[in-house]
């Protein structure tokens, strides 16, 4: 019912509801129950109801939640209505993959700039984006008013890049470099160390063997 201070785990689940809801909208369904929504998102139904408590939408007993309204409310809540442009710093394989990742468009996100420090990469056009020199990043940001950036540079360069992003007014950083970034508290950093994903698989698989 309120929009502030949503629990982190809830926040991670909201996009999954949104995804499932869109399929229902496409199918022309007007209401969806928490149990149905949960089944599609892989989440328990009472968790769904609890999560939706944080959204400005109320369900109807015997019917469920209004699909269209819920989508609109989730989009608003997740900030998917405002400025959604982001840049990628680091035109390696991962940076390139992310800069063209089709899944982002589904949420209205657009990668509008791709930067690299390698002169051999700068100037080339990758998937419709021209690779720009990192040196020009600050100037670029000062013109464009972009709030989100993705870092896919090597660990040793990440802090330097982050410093420039901050100077350029970036308020949210998705950091794929395996290093802890030092930023002021008003800037949100989401760390995504891909190796942790494999390590996690590895742990579970090895426990599996032990049994």
Partner DNA sequence: CTATGTGAAAAAGTTCACAGCG
Partner DNA sequence: CGCTGTGAACTTTTTCACATAG
For binding to DNA (CB under 7 A), which residues are involved?
Answer: 1, 7-10, 33-35, 44-47, 49-50, 52-53, 58-65
Q: Which of residues 104-143 bind a copy of itself (CB under 8 A)?
A: 104, 106-107, 109
Please report how close the Cβ of residue 5 comes to a copy of itself at its closest, in angstroms.
9
Q: What strands, in cross-sheet order, belong to the sheet with 188-191? A: 125-126, 129-133, 110-116, 85-89, 148-151, 172-175, 188-191
53 binds, among a copy of itself, DNA, none (CB under 5 to 8 A by kind): DNA
Q: By the 8 A CB rule, do 151 and 173 touch? A: yes
CA dihedral 44, 101, 70, 21 (to 10 degrees): -60
Q: By the 8 A CB rule, do 57 and 48 touch? A: no
Torsion sign over Cα 149, 103, 49, 52:
positive
Q: Which is nearer to a copy of itself, 2 or 62 (CB)?
A: 2
Which residues in this chain contact a copy of itself in the complex, by CB under 8 A?
4, 6, 11-12, 14-16, 19, 40-42, 77-80, 82, 84, 86, 92-94, 96-98, 100-101, 103-104, 106-107, 109, 147-148, 171-174, 178, 180, 186, 188, 190-209
């Amino acid at each position: 019912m309120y929009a502030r201070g949503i629990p982190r785990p809830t926040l991670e689940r909201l996009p999954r509801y949104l995804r499932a809801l869109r399929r229902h909208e496409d199918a022309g369904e007007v209401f969806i129950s928490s149990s149905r929504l949960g089944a599609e998102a892989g989440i328990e139904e009472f968790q769904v109801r609890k999560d939706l408590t944080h959204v400005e939408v109320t369900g109807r007993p015997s019917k469920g939640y209004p699909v269209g309204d819920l989508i609109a409310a989730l989009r608003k809540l997740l900030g998917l209505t405002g400025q959604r442009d982001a840049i990628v710093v680091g035109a390696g394989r991962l940076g390139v993959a992310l800069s063209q990742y089709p899944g982002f468009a589904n949420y209205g996100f657009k990668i509008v700039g791709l930067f690299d420090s390698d002169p051999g990469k700068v100037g080339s056009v990758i998937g419709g984006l021209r690779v720009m020199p990192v040196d020009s990043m600050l100037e670029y940001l000062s013109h464009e008013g972009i709030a989100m950036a993705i870092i896919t540079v090597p660990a040793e360069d990440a802090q330097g890049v982050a410093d420039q992003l901050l100077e350029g007014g970036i308020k949210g950083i998705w950091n794929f470099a395996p290093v802890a970034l030092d930023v002021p508290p008003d800037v949100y950093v989401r760390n995504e160390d891909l190796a942790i994903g494999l390590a996690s698989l590895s742990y579970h698989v090895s426990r599996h063997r032990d049994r």
